[in-house]
């Protein structure tokens, strides 16, 4: 029998969610059977899958040991070579500047390399290792929670990712993202002399087999409406390149890349929606796209972050070299 005392990071979630995170090797069908047959109990009594856990509750599991997978050993965290670049950090959240080419975590939607990397080689694991070394994350003291990323960025895109250090912060950040209270700005270099500013409207449909999207100027079956706002910061006649600041008014797979290409402004280095061999010859093996600025509109517990603007270091955005002398807006 395995017994768990619900702690602060476990509280507030359903029993079935707690069990799936705690016993990762247990099939869902078997888990629900074990709850029905009272092999999983809450405070010594019959449990229900929708029971909400509170701090101090006792969850008992009469489940074979074979289903309990080991958590990473401390030595595994110590072997991590990737050193994350921290933009901001406090007791609740961490902002990290992810470099192009780094996988956020295994199984990223839209990433063709979902199976060629170990979990131990991802940015998420590197950030968890960073917190283990600092003593802020102690896996042995947690039942179901581990520091988690709140947003994803494609492997070949750079920019700020948000990590929640505790469960209450994770819930608040995810809620703010769903409600549009996390504000992100992107920089990108595109081919062509774009208009000074525009809000592009279209419909995006994803092919789940090829993991490539199509953009249309009218509603189509299976399509979702997309809105992409941009303003031009600079234009360089030599090379016919524009530097854009982009804001997503909707968040869809590859939206910036596909929408700008459809509008006639494919990204520099783009390999899916605007293949340009000359870009590769210039050394652009990744699309010139960076999530460079972030601000929040949080309630209560995280409200101390409101009004602050977080940005990455300009030298990390390599394609800015195409626009020498251009001032990048940081406080708006």
**Could you give phi then psi for residue 294, rounded to 5 degrees?**
-145, 140
The third-level CATH classification (topology) of the domain covering 184-322 is: Pseudouridine synthase (3.30.2350)
Largest CA distance in the chain: 74
Residue 73: per-residue pLDDT:
63
What pLDDT digit, counting tens, does each position of 246-259 carry? 999 998 999 999 99
Lowest-pLDDT choice from 112-126, 128-142, 309-323: 112-126
Q: What CA–CA distance (Å, rounded) separates 216 from 201?
A: 9
* pLDDT level of residue 68 (50, 70, 90 thresholds): confident
CATH for 2-67? 3.10.290.10
Question: Are 144 and 75 within 8 A, CB to CB?
Answer: no
Who's near 271: CB < 8 A, 6+ residues apart?
A: 156, 287
Residue 115: per-residue pLDDT:
41
- Say which DSSP state 217 is in: S
Mean pLDDT of 48-65: 92
Residue 281: per-residue pLDDT:
77
Judge whether 74-179 and 184-322 match in fold.
yes
Q: What CA–CA distance (Å, rounded) separates 61 from 289?
A: 47
Residue 215: per-residue pLDDT:
95
Residue 64: per-residue pLDDT:
85
Residue 132: per-residue pLDDT:
92
Beta bridge mates, 295: 183, 309
Question: What's the per-residue H, E or C state across 185-215?
Answer: EEEEEEECCCCCEEEEEEEEEEECCCCEEEE
Lowest-pLDDT choice from 33-42, 72-81, 133-142, 308-317: 72-81
Structure-token pair, residue 78: 């110590």
Pick 121 or 53 by higher pLDDT: 53
What pLDDT digit, counting tens, does each position of 82-128 carry? 889 999 999 999 999 999 999 998 765 444 444 444 677 899 999 99
Question: Are 186 and 172 within 8 A, CB to CB?
Answer: no
Residue 21: per-residue pLDDT:
85
Question: Are 200 and 258 within 8 A, CB to CB?
Answer: no
Structure-token pair, residue 281: 């010859």
What pLDDT digit, counting tens, does each position of 15-26 carry? 999 998 888 778
Percent of the chain with pLDDT over 70: 94
Structure-token pair, residue 157: 């895109």
Residue 100: per-residue pLDDT:
92
What pLDDT digit, counting tens, does each position of 200-249 carry? 999 999 998 888 999 999 999 999 999 999 999 999 999 999 999 999 99
Claim: this prediction has a pTM higher than 0.85: no
Percent of the chain with pLDDT over 90: 68
Residue 72 has pLDDT above 70, yes or no: no
- Number of other residues whose CB lies within 10 A of the CB of residue 224: 16
Helices and strands in the chain: count of H runs, count of E runs: 7, 15
Where do the structural domains in the chain lie, given as residue ranges? 2-67, 74-179, 184-322
CATH superfamily of 74-179: Pseudouridine synthase (3.30.2350.10)
* pLDDT level of residue 69 (50, 70, 90 thresholds): low
Using alpha carbons, list the distances in angstroms from residue 268 to 56, 161, 285: 54, 22, 9
Residue 70: per-residue pLDDT:
56
Question: Are 268 and 239 within 8 A, CB to CB?
Answer: no
- Say which DSSP state 136 is in: S
């Amino acid at each position: 029998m395995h017994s768990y005392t619900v702690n602060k990071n476990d509280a507030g979630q359903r029993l079935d969610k707690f069990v799936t995170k705690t016993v990762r090797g247990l099939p869902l069908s078997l888990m629900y059977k074990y709850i029905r047959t009272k092999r999983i109990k809450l405070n010594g009594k019959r449990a229900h899958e929708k029971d909400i856990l509170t701090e101090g509750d006792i969850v008992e599991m009469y489940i074979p040991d074979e289903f309990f997978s080991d958590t990473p050993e401390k030595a595994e965290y110590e072997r991590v070579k990737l050193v994350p670049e921290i933009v901001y950090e406090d007791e609740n959240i961490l902002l990290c500047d992810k470099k192009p080419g780094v996988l956020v975590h295994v199984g990223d939607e839209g990433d063709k390399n979902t199976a060629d990397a170990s979990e131990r080689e991802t940015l998420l694991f590197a950030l968890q290792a960073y917190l283990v070394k600092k003593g802020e994350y102690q896996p042995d003291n947690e039942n179901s929670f581990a520091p988690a990323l709140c947003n994803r960025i494609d492997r070949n895109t750079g920019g700020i990712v948000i990590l929640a250090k505790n469960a209450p912060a994770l819930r608040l950040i995810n809620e703010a993202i769903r409600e549009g209270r996390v504000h992100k700005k992107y920089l990108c270099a595109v081919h062509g002399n774009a208009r000074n500013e525009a809000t592009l409207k279209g419909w995006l449909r994803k092919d789940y087999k090829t993991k490539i999207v199509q953009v249309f100027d009218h509603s189509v079956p299976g399509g979702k409406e997309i809105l992409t706002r941009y303003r031009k910061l600079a234009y360089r006649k030599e090379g016919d390149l524009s530097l854009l600041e982009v804001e997503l008014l909707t968040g869809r797979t590859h939206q910036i890349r596909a929408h700008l290409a459809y509008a006639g402004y494919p990204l520099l280095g783009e390999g899916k929606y605007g293949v340009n061999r000359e870009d590769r010859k210039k050394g652009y093996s990744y699309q010139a796209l960076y999530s460079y600025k972030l601000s929040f509109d949080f309630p209560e517990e995280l409200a101390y972050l409101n009004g602050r603007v977080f940005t990455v270091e300009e030298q990390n955005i390599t394609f800015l070299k195409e626009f020498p002398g251009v001032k990048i807006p940081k406080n708006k």
